[in-house]
Amino acid sequence: VTGDGWVLTGIAELTTADDDLVVDGPAALVCGPDGTVEWVGPERALPAQAGAARFDVGGRAVIPGFVDSHTHLVFAGQRAAEWQARMAGRPYAAGGIRTTVDATRSASEADLLAGARLLAAEARRSGTTTMEVKSGYGLEVAAEARLLAVAQEVSDETTFLGAHVVPAEMAGRVDDYVDLVCGAMLEACAPRARWIDVFCERGAFDADQSRRVLEAGRAAGLGLRLHGNQLGPGPGVALGVELGAASVDHCTHLSGADIDALAGGRHTVATLLPAAEFCTRSPYPDARRLLDAGVKVALASDCNPGSSYTTSMPFVIALAVREMAMTIPEAVRAATAGGADALQRGDIGRLIPGRRADLVVLEAPTAAWLGYRPGVALVRTVVRAGAVVAGSWP
């Protein structure tokens, strides 16, 4: 990358993720010296003065970098045995979170950081250029603050999820734990977080408790997100929309009223996490019903050691198309622009002038190959803010 910016040419298909704008090839993209997109369009209309260096991608497809708006990246240990038991028929339950809490509390900060960096690098290699990172495996004041300090090392999009489950030592004292989350824990964590999240689900926190957590977070200056309607119907989605949350996540078990609320809200994004349904062998959310109702949809990995141990957004896209009847343009848009919307980021997620030049060159002529060639490493080059961060220019 030169100080003068650069031009990509020979793009067989350029998905901008701005509405449904796909530029058929040969297309070109100009990145300015500040690492933002200056121009996109057909190669024959390329402005003559544009850019210094030129890279021909040789008939490959280009899409925006993935915006993974939901991960639990900071933890210790693993739960492969729990996953195997599930594959043998045991259902998924929120209680498994406590296994990871034990391992995480006894890990060193250096080990937690090393683990998070490894996963962040893995995600980058599969095309993720922005990822949200939650706490939630500490569940005591110092432990949650420590997880957020680690999260800040790998991302600017950090989320305080003290209200993940009630820790074992406070079992049965949910309201006392909510007091702690809204009091000393929030005070210690808010300076290190942009967002607050709560797991509103049977076995975790009910509507009143979730409301208290989110309102306390808002008073502390945090934006709102919520896990809801994952394991069964419940009040989470309605509560998130009512409070104007940026995103309600999972959205697997929705009532007609939930869909109406999301469609009427216009502001709250429904974030779908089909890798969690895959890894827990659960029914997938009804993406078509959401999209057809006009709800804004995002796709994210939910990377965590219990319910979805993957960082791969290409895998998530393949699932969304195969299992949830999303089209490829819908799925790519949800995994890029949708994630940016869920994080309320106007500077990333779309390949249009003024946005950060975060993009992926695929080892494929069209984005459809992300579903057509499932499980294959199709990410060739990853660019973030105009600089190559994984792979190399063709």
Binding site for Fe ion (CB under 5 A): 302
By beta-carbon proximity to Fe ion, the closer residue of 225 and 356 is 225
Q: Considering only residues 228-267, where is the footprint of ligand NIG by CB under 6 A?
A: 230
Residue 80 main-chain phi, psi, to 5 deg: -65, -35
Asked if 96 touches ligand NIG (CB under 6 A), the answer is: yes
Q: How far apart are CA 84 and CA 99, in angstroms?
A: 15
Query: Maximum Cα–Cα distance for the chain, whole Å?
Result: 69
Q: What angle do CA 256, 280, 273 make, to 5 degrees?
A: 55
Q: Which residues contact 228 (CB under 8 A, 6 or more apart)?
A: 200, 201, 234, 235, 236, 237, 239, 240, 248, 249, 250, 251
With beta carbons less than 8 A apart as the criterion, state whether 371 and 377 touch.
no
Residue 355 main-chain phi, psi, to 5 deg: -85, 155
- Selection from Fe ion, ligand NIG, none that 338 binds (CB < 5 to 8 A by kind) is none
Count of residues that interact with ligand NIG, criterion CB under 6 A: 13
With beta carbons less than 8 A apart as the criterion, state whether 194 and 222 touch.
yes
By beta-carbon proximity to Fe ion, the closer residue of 140 and 302 is 302
By beta-carbon proximity to Fe ion, the closer residue of 16 and 158 is 158
Shortest Cβ 273–Fe ion spacing (Å): 7
- Selection from Fe ion, ligand NIG, none that 210 binds (CB < 5 to 8 A by kind) is none
- Selection from ligand NIG, Fe ion, none that 339 binds (CB < 5 to 8 A by kind) is none
Asked if 97 touches ligand NIG (CB under 6 A), the answer is: yes
- Selection from Fe ion, ligand NIG, none that 306 binds (CB < 5 to 8 A by kind) is ligand NIG
Asked if 307 touches ligand NIG (CB under 6 A), the answer is: yes
Question: Could you identify the residue written with the tokens 């429904």?
Answer: 270
Shortest Cβ 365–ligand NIG spacing (Å): 35
With beta carbons less than 8 A apart as the criterion, state whether 89 and 42 touch.
no
Task: Say how many C-beta atoms besides its own lie within 10 A of residue 385's C-beta.
Answer: 17
Shortest Cβ 160–ligand NIG spacing (Å): 14
Q: Which residues contact 274 (CB under 8 A, 6 or more apart)?
A: 284, 285, 299, 316, 319, 320, 323, 324
Task: Say how many C-beta atoms besides its own lie within 10 A of residue 80's C-beta.
Answer: 9
Query: In a 3-state reduction of DSSP, which class is residue 325?
Result: coil
Asked if 276 touches ligand NIG (CB under 6 A), the answer is: yes
Asked if 227 touches ligand NIG (CB under 6 A), the answer is: yes
- Selection from Fe ion, ligand NIG, none that 11 binds (CB < 5 to 8 A by kind) is none
- Selection from Fe ion, ligand NIG, none that 276 binds (CB < 5 to 8 A by kind) is ligand NIG
Q: Considering only residues 1-60, where is the footprint of ligand NIG by CB under 6 A?
A: none
Asked if 144 touches ligand NIG (CB under 6 A), the answer is: no
- Closest Cα to residue 69, out of 390, 348, 286? 348
Shortest Cβ 68–Fe ion spacing (Å): 11
One of 15, 71, 100, 126 touching ligand NIG (CB under 6 A): 100
Asked if 126 touches ligand NIG (CB under 6 A), the answer is: no
Helices and strands (DSSP H and E) totals, the chain? 15, 15
- Selection from ligand NIG, Fe ion, none that 86 binds (CB < 5 to 8 A by kind) is none
Shortest Cβ 161–Fe ion spacing (Å): 8
Provide the 8-state DSSP code for 221.
T
Task: Say how many C-beta atoms besides its own lie within 10 A of residue 353's C-beta.
Answer: 12
Asked if 199 touches ligand NIG (CB under 6 A), the answer is: yes
Of 102-110, 300-308, 339-347, 382-390, which segment contacts ligand NIG by CB under 6 A? 300-308
Q: Tell me which residues touch ligand NIG (CB under 6 A).
A: 72, 96-97, 100, 199, 227, 230, 276, 302, 304-307
